[in-house]
Structure 1
Amino acid sequence: PKTHDIIEKHAKYTLTTYGRPPVVFTHGKGSYLYDVGHREYLDFTAGIAVNALGHSDPEVARILFDQAKQVVHLSNLYYNIFFSNSGTEANEGALKFARKVAKVTAKPGQENDKFGVVSFKNGFHGRSMGALSATPNPKYQKPFLPLVPGFAHAPFNDVEAVDQYVTEETCAVIVEPIQGEGGINVASEDFLKKLRSRCDEVGALLIYDEIQCGLGRTGKLWAHQHFSHECTPDILTMAKPLANGFPIGAIMITDKVAEKIAIGDHGTTFGGNPLGCAVASSVFRRINNPEFLDNVNQIGEHFKEQLKSIQSPLIKEVRSKGMILGMEFKVDPAPLVALARERGLLIITAANNTVRFVPALNISKPEIDQGISILKQAIAVFEDRAMNVEA
């Protein structure tokens, strides 16, 4: 009754832009969350790859407290990195920078023609108008048509199609080295190399959206570091885990891009605030530690093997890189999310019938094993119900 009352009261004052489950969390600790009924949940979502160091991290809390006693807000005055409040804002800024660079580097007479942006099917870059235009999902785009002109959507990992889509009129290519919401799809090295070389040929910028797959999630600081230097981007966007849940995003750019950006080309009120930056500095330092990243690799490998050990005719494939994992099913796994939650495990779906696992990066092997045990129980019920429907 208490949960129902809170949800009912909340619903009167908030927009229904999310399909929310019937649970109200009160607090968390490490990889666990607790609801108003004092029930414990093992969290395999980490706020959708946000709480990289778990819930209620003591150092994050201390830094927020200490910084709040000093300076809460200043301004955004940094070099070669632009701070924002979210991943969507970071991608919007990256797209703006790309169009500005194209304006000043295009061949004479082509300044107004070089504005095209190429993104990829099953990609996700945000919900504001520019980022949404780069997110080719009809579910997200249809209610807001027409979108920003100049965007083309190419097949992901298709080397042969790159030349067709990336042309002299392209100012930027934006891609996730590992698609998160798209179903945990890992880009091939040949694909990223081709994007890099083609961008160089036509004078376009290569933008890597590492908002979900970056900052240690794959066992390296950046997901693209799994590939050769021939895949290096011009712009890198980050957000989700950067401050372990405190709102902050960032755009990192090369010198050749930075020198084309002038005073007044972009701005933000709250981006780069001292609270967010203080926490981000601590989180970044802790993640960018060889021992921490080695542990992410080891735990991620253990997690992958545990997922692969689950036997079910409904499971099609397990895909992963470090601690971003996906289990693709032959049927829609949405009911499995509720079945797992009822048993004390939090999971989320992604595109293409995939369940996404993005827990805290410091989760332990015993916690992984506990979650796998619950997942097996939930899959058994899910499988039984699916088979009964077919019968």
Structure 2
Amino acid sequence: MIANKCHPRIAARFLTRRIIDGRDATWKRCLTGSLAEEPKGPVVKTEIPGPRSRHLFQELNSLQQASSVQFFADYEKSAGNYIVDVDGNSLLDVYMQISSMPLGYNHPAMLHALANPVNQKIIANRPALGVFPGKDWPGKLKNVLLRNDVAPPSLSHITTMMCGSCSNENAFKNIFIWYADQQRHGAPFTKEEIESCMINQSPGSPKYSIMSFKGAFHGRTLGSLSTTHSKYIHKLDVPAFDWPIASFPQYKYPLEENVRENQEEDKRCLAEIEELFEKSRKEKKVPVAGVIIEPIQAEGGDNHASPEFFQQLQRIIKKNGAALLIDEVQTGGGPTGKMWCHEHFNLPSPPDVVTFSKKMQMGGYYHVPDLKPKQSYRVFNTWMGDPSKLILLEAIVDIIAKEHLLDRVTKVGNYTLQELRNLEKEFSTSINSIRGRGTFIAFNGSTQERRDDIIKKLLAKGIQAGGCGVNAIRMRPALTFTEKHADIFLDALRSILKQ
């Protein structure tokens, strides 16, 4: 006899039931029927972290380095735009797992996808995609990652990976392989190249470089870390490549009052990029094969650059025969009001590579056809992505389209930015430099200490926010964030600034 109500332990046991005629309605009902409703507002019962979080921290810290942990969450009780911790505090989450939760917590569409028996078998039988992909894999790539409202315009090739760091790391390999093939004019590998690469010597291991930018964050694997320049703790004690590092524009705000100064900043940075190309080629004898850049420098402080800057950057890169890699790991998936932030820049041609992860659930990169390696196993690992994450992404992009969430992001983002500018006028000695696209929003505290204090007091009021750069507070809400949620955040911020 089957229970009518689904206790979590009973629901777990239902998973093991034999599926009859390809369906198990009981399991589906248990999975979707016990969802928590989104709270009407934050509820703070204890200090944060509370006693249960502190106890769990001691347990975890005895097993691994855990000092980055802020609190322990109860993901069964979390819902929508609210994360619930193990002490029963319900927090409005405008940070969303570092920008990686597009629909918030426990969205019914995602849970429903996981209840599908076909999808359960995909999850249970995770393939080595590079050698044994499932029969539906080409179709899934076409119908999810390469559908017209998902893929970056005019990019028709895709390589799936696990995370943002390994996406950038392997994209570097694609760029180097393509660049080397250009240098040998498509000729086959020589005996000298084959033998020398095995002992990390040229010509088989050529000296090429990837140009990056001050303030950038592209990951923590060795190649990606060499292009990361946001915080010393990421890089200290780890060997790095001596690759060129250019200045990213540092704008003055409000933008409309500093047009001339910011245009001059664009020119200064672009001239420096031209100079670095020349110096790398002629003086260092290590030509730049590619340039990696974020459309908005996220970890580095939510630093923006103009569409004109990106257009001129692409022109310089093409002139020097290199590839443009736009890192959309944090900006991809809709938070700027477009699926891809670089769509705001009106580039004359698509970037050569666009990397993604976070809101896209899996890692990977789109690229132009020329960057597809000619030989197998050149870019390869055991899993090459994860079909289970594509199941979730399919549900996500269907909801984005069905509920017009990108339009909502634009509308709510404009509302939030305007209200923050009003607060800046009232409390200019505490916050400044309001900036953002869509709900990908940040503002500065007047000092680092003021920034840290605001974030701490927001948490005490039931708002989970994040910091970045030296003194920036960043918002990374779900695409389901509304004006109602924005008002809760803004009211809490106003009360803190009044103090």
1:349 touches 1:356 (CA, 8 Å); kept in 2?
yes
The aligned counterpart of 2:387 is 274
The aligned counterpart of 2:45 is none
The aligned counterpart of 1:193 is 311
- Which of 248, 256, 276 is residue 156 of structure 1 equivalent to? 248
| Aligned CA distance change for structure 1 residues 163 and 343 (closer, same or farther; 3 Å) | same
- Which of 11, 19, 24 is residue 72 of structure 2 equivalent to? 24
CA distance in 2, matches of 1:163, 1:24: 48
CA distance in 2, matches of 1:288, 1:151: 41
- The answer to whether structure 1 residue 324 and structure 2 residue 440 are counterparts is yes
The aligned counterpart of 1:75 is 128
Q: Which amino acid aligns with 2:209?
A: G
Report the secondary structure of 1:8's partner residue: helix
| Aligned CA distance change for structure 1 residues 50 and 83 (closer, same or farther; 3 Å) | same
CA distance in 2, matches of 1:113, 1:74: 34
Q: Which amino acid aligns with 1:315?
A: I
Q: Deviations over 1:287-341 (max 9, x none)?
A: 3569321111001101111212223212121011111101112201122221111
Q: Deviations over 1:194-234 (max 9, x none)?
A: 22112211211100000111211110111111111326210
1:215 touches 1:242 (CA, 8 Å); kept in 2?
yes
CA distance in 2, matches of 1:3, 1:273: 31
The more displaced of 119-128 and 303-312 is: 303-312
Report the CA distance between 1:180 and its aligned residue. Answer: 1.1
- The answer to whether structure 1 residue 254 and structure 2 residue 368 are counterparts is yes
Structure having the higher strand fraction is: 1
- Which of 86, 100, 105 is residue 182 of structure 2 equivalent to? 105
Could you tell me which runs of 5 or more consecutive residues in structure 1 were left unpaired when the two chains were aligned: 382-391
CA distance in 1, matches of 2:443, 2:333: 22
Q: Deviations over 1:103-152 (max 9, x none)?
A: 111267998656111011111101111111000235135423321x2421
The aligned counterpart of 2:239 is 146
- The answer to whether structure 1 residue 56 and structure 2 residue 106 are counterparts is yes
1:181 touches 1:350 (CA, 8 Å); kept in 2?
yes
Q: Deviations over 1:229-280 (max 9, x none)?
A: 326210000100013xxxx11111111111x342111112233322111112
RMSD: 2.1
Number of residue equivalences: 373
CA distance in 2, matches of 1:292, 1:90: 26
After TM superposition, the score normalised by the length of structure 1 is: 0.89
Alignment of 1:1-391 (within 5 A): 1-16=51-66, 18-21=67-70, 23-27=71-75, 28-66=78-116, 67-72=118-123, 73-77=126-130, 80-106=157-183, 115-137=208-230, 139-147=232-240, 149-157=241-249, 158-167=269-278, 168=281, 169-230=287-348, 232-243=350-361, 248-258=362-372, 260-287=373-400, 291-310=404-423, 311-312=426-427, 313-332=429-448, 333-381=451-499
Could you tell me which runs of 5 or more consecutive residues in structure 2 were left unpaired when the two chains were aligned: 1-50, 131-137, 142-156, 186-201, 250-268, 282-286
CA distance in 1, matches of 2:164, 2:79: 25
The more displaced of 168-177 and 278-287 is: 278-287
After TM superposition, the score normalised by the length of structure 2 is: 0.71
Percent of aligned positions with the same letter in both sequences?
Answer: 24
The aligned counterpart of 1:389 is none
| Aligned CA distance change for structure 1 residues 186 and 238 (closer, same or farther; 3 Å) | same
Q: Deviations over 1:331-353 (max 9, x none)?
A: 01122221111110011101031
2:420 touches 2:490 (CA, 8 Å); kept in 1?
yes
CA distance in 2, matches of 1:290, 1:194: 36
CA distance in 1, matches of 2:487, 2:165: 34
| Aligned CA distance change for structure 1 residues 288 and 191 (closer, same or farther; 3 Å) | farther
CA distance in 2, matches of 1:35, 1:359: 18
Q: Which protein shows a greater Rg?
A: 2
CA distance in 1, matches of 2:497, 2:68: 22
